[in-house]
Structure 1
Amino acid sequence: MSQQHLEERLKQSGIALPAAPQPLGAYIPAVQVGTLLFVSGMVPVVNGKPYLTGRLGAERTVEDGQEGARIAGLNALAVAKSELGSLDRLKRAVRLNVIQLAIPEFTEHAKVADSVSDLFGQLFGAENSHTRSVQGAASLPGGYTVILEVIFEITA
């Protein structure tokens, strides 16, 4: 799959990119180092407001977590567009770190993370897949259900 015209691929898929969320603390949304773009932890925020909080396996279901991870992924893409001027500079997602607020008995972390992996696979193609780390946590800032960190490879 050609990596050109990522923004057009989003439109064709019926995916609307949100505005880039503002940092929720004393950090910047992204840092470019060479041909890598490191995106700060993205949470499921919609229109500047918390969209999904609560623990997986208690107040939240796997499906809720999947929706939150996908929203966080779209927020990461929005930050990338804001930083780079165009999504068409993105070559691929290189690394995902998906941290989930969950009860100790919850074991379906991979299913939750698959929603953002599937989104990026749809946009970048299976041949440009990424590495991934998935963890459960006893607490997360703001009580968010999911926090996503992304490293993108970009064109120079």
Structure 2
Amino acid sequence: MSTGERLAALGLTLPPVAAPVAAYVPAVRYGDLVQTSGQLPLVGGAVTVTGKVGAGVSPEEATAAARTCALNALAAVADLVGDLDEVVRVVKVTGFVASDPSFTGQPGVVNGASELLGEVFGDAGRHARSAVGVPVLPLDAAVEVELLVQVR
């Protein structure tokens, strides 16, 4: 089954690549690796979940936002390399979670991204990962995710 067929089976389609909010590009290829810029939970050009997890944003809302971030990152990869079938494996996921100081569940939030990648790529979606709590993210987003993937 192709990656596109797997996405369709999950009820997902790749969104348009989000326009950068500053002076950078959505993704860069070097050799057989593609690094994405941090992707926010943007849908239709608007951030879907804003604020701090643990203070107004539930862990469940943030986990869903991380899933959206990962889908946006996949769109940036596909736009650069032409097709997600070019992805050999997901190497690393870095997730940033805007957190209330008392919130310590960042790994669970970033699971939203990790689980999506596993659903899309199977074993090739298993990756190294960092889940980091931060005080604030661009546009007051609750979550930001970046990917490093190996491509053909």
TM-score normalised by structure 2 residue count: 0.95
Give the whole-Å Cα distance in 2 for the aligned partners of 1:14 and 1:139. 31
Displaced runs of 4+ in structure 1, greater than 6 A?
none
Distance verdict in 2 for CA 1:57–1:31, change over 3 Å: same
Per-residue displacement from partner, 1:53-76 (whole Å, max 9, x unpaired)?
100000100011011100000000
Aligned to 1:112: 109
What's the CA shift for 1:126?
3.0
What's the CA shift for 1:115?
1.2
Aligned to 2:74: 77
Secondary structure class of the residue paired with 1:119: helix
1:13 is aligned to 2:10: yes
Give the whole-Å Cα distance in 2 for the aligned partners of 1:79 and 1:127. 18
Aligned to 1:95: 92
Q: Specify the code of the residue in structure 2 equivalent to 1:130.
A: H
TM-score normalised by structure 1 residue count: 0.93
Aligned to 1:30: 27
Q: Mind listing any 5+ residue stretches in structure 1 that lack a counterpart? A: none
31-40 or 120-129, which deviates more: 120-129
RMSD: 1.2
Q: Specify the code of the residue in structure 1 equivalent to 2:11.
A: G
Aligned to 1:58: 55
Secondary structure class of the residue paired with 2:113: helix
Q: Specify the code of the residue in structure 2 equivalent to 1:103.
A: D
8-17 or 58-67, which deviates more: 8-17
What's the CA shift for 1:127?
5.4
Secondary structure class of the residue paired with 1:18: coil
6-15 or 119-128, which deviates more: 119-128
Kept after mapping to 1: 8 A contact 2:54/2:100: yes
Distance verdict in 2 for CA 1:35–1:127, change over 3 Å: closer
Identical amino acids, percent of aligned pairs: 35
Kept after mapping to 1: 8 A contact 2:14/2:75: yes
